[in-house]
Structure 1
Amino acid sequence: MAAGATALSTVLGTLLAVGLARHASRSRLLPALSVLPAVLPDIVLAIGLLAFYSLVSATLGLHSVLLAHTVFGLAFVTAVVRTRIAHVDPSLEEASRDLGAGEVTTFLRITLPTLAPGIVAGALTFTLSLDEFVIAFFTAGPKDPTLPIVIYSMIRFGVTPEINALATLLLAVSFTVVIAAQRVSRLTEAL
């Protein structure tokens, strides 16, 4: 679930950040709305998503959790990538277009590599999605629990060695992902 939500939120958040940087420079409302899910408390976002699912008569399951985690992560990715875009020299893209490269070639060969450290940092929403309980609790179906929901249901009956082992694994995975992302970010900045 966390990997799928991270992939979707990273792609969509990067595209949203680029679009906001290029086309919404005068508007203050769109950038503010793009980070709203990150600013809202988790419980408010979870209840809002549950109300939305009820309004459109969507069934709850892993697909609804995936969509909810994507919306949650999208705000973080957008904020991080927009920060990176602000530090990128726009003359690089202009030079690429002046030398005959099209929009797609310029995006793939100039813009994307220069944004890579921000994209990698934004992809750290994986760690947020991996242990997100509140949003998953409200948007998951009864037959599709995520790992944090399973851990919560186990804790109600007492802390067992299995819960300690799961918590240790979650912590180890989170640390590993953060350290790996930091190293990848350093490598992409060096290039």
Structure 2
Amino acid sequence: MTKSGISRVGMAALAAGYVFLYAPILCMVVYSFNDNRLATVWGSFSFAAYGQLFADEQLRGAALLSLRIALLSGAAATVLGTVAGFCLARFRRLPTITLFAALVTSPMVMPEVIVAFSLLLLFLFVLRIDLGFGAIWAGHATLGMAYVATLVRSRLLEMDLSLEEAALNLGARPVKVFFTITLPIVAPTLVAGYLLSFTLSWDDVVLTSLLAGAGVNTLPTLVFSSVKFGISPKIYALATLIVCAVTAGVIASNRFMLRHARP
């Protein structure tokens, strides 16, 4: 086969991959404008589903609760994960660093249902605190911290240590070196870690279902429970708005990271 033939096959495979990934999302966006109570049967073009969505107080409350939890758990996961990643990268000769690394990264590789049951036992029988917002926040932060620590550790291992050593030789204190040299270098990684933690929290169902308690519904758990009784067009409208918001956030974060990655 010639090179042009290989390139045509590659382009066809790439196009097929994009169609496979994005055609269902495009269909969902189209059907969010469907004026029919049956989400799978096209009636006529209408914004009625969006009106029903904004009029649904339960969905609005669940979305705001999910947003609050995701913002706060992402921030906590970024801070704790940065500290853990820094320790993993800078104190590799400590005898207990292997155990510490295993403890930090275990939520990332362990089945989420096991993590959820462990946290449930911790909150109910050890700490004896009520389930709800705080328990969900702590569980999501624990899960996101493992990913942030892995990202920060990898970035610090690739970093040129001569920059920090030069600043220390010139009399700068370690704390100043961290905030003026190390932190700006790993800033794009922290943004990526925060976005990843935010996404994991926003999308989580398993941890949230076990840690929510009575009367607490986040957006994923509410949507998951409503789908069992049939999908309504307003769910498509909700998903379309989330896709638009996520797309805008990804574009903005990519521009930020590319700007800071330039030499």
| TM-score, scaled to structure 2 | 0.69
Task: Say which of 145, 152, 155 aligns to 1:81.
Answer: 152
Percent of aligned pairs sharing the same letter: 39
User: Gaps (5+ residues) in structure 1?
Assistant: none
- 2:193 counterpart of 1:122: yes
Residues paired across the two proteins, number:
191
The whole-number CA distance in structure 1 between the counterparts of 2:249 and 2:207 is 22
The whole-number CA distance in structure 2 between the counterparts of 1:60 and 1:80 is 30
Task: Say which of 81, 86, 111 aligns to 1:41.
Answer: 111
Cα offset, 1:44, TM superposition? 1.4
User: Gaps (5+ residues) in structure 2?
Assistant: 1-68
Q: Which residue of 2 aligns with 1:6?
A: 74
- 2:176 counterpart of 1:108: no
Cα offset, 1:142, TM superposition? 1.4
The whole-number CA distance in structure 2 between the counterparts of 1:57 and 1:48 is 14
The whole-number CA distance in structure 1 between the counterparts of 2:118 and 2:80 is 21
The whole-number CA distance in structure 1 between the counterparts of 2:253 and 2:228 is 34
The whole-number CA distance in structure 1 between the counterparts of 2:181 and 2:73 is 26
Change (3 A) 1:46 1:174: farther
- 2:85 counterpart of 1:17: yes
The whole-number CA distance in structure 1 between the counterparts of 2:248 and 2:123 is 34
Cα offset, 1:22, TM superposition? 1.6
Task: Say which of 220, 225, 231 aligns to 1:148.
Answer: 220
Q: Is the 1:121–1:182 contact (alpha carbons within 8 Å) kept by the matching residues of 2?
A: no
Q: Which residue of 2 aligns with 1:136?
A: 208
The whole-number CA distance in structure 1 between the counterparts of 2:73 and 2:163 is 32
Deviations 1:74-129 (A, max 9, x none): 00000011110011011111111111111111111001011112111111221111
Cα offset, 1:184, TM superposition? 1.5
The whole-number CA distance in structure 2 between the counterparts of 1:67 and 1:177 is 24
Q: Larger deviation: 4-13 or 41-50? A: 41-50
| TM-score, scaled to structure 1 | 0.93
Cα offset, 1:156, TM superposition? 2.1
Q: Larger deviation: 112-121 or 20-29? A: 20-29
RMSD: 1.5
Larger radius of gyration: 2
Cα offset, 1:7, TM superposition? 0.7
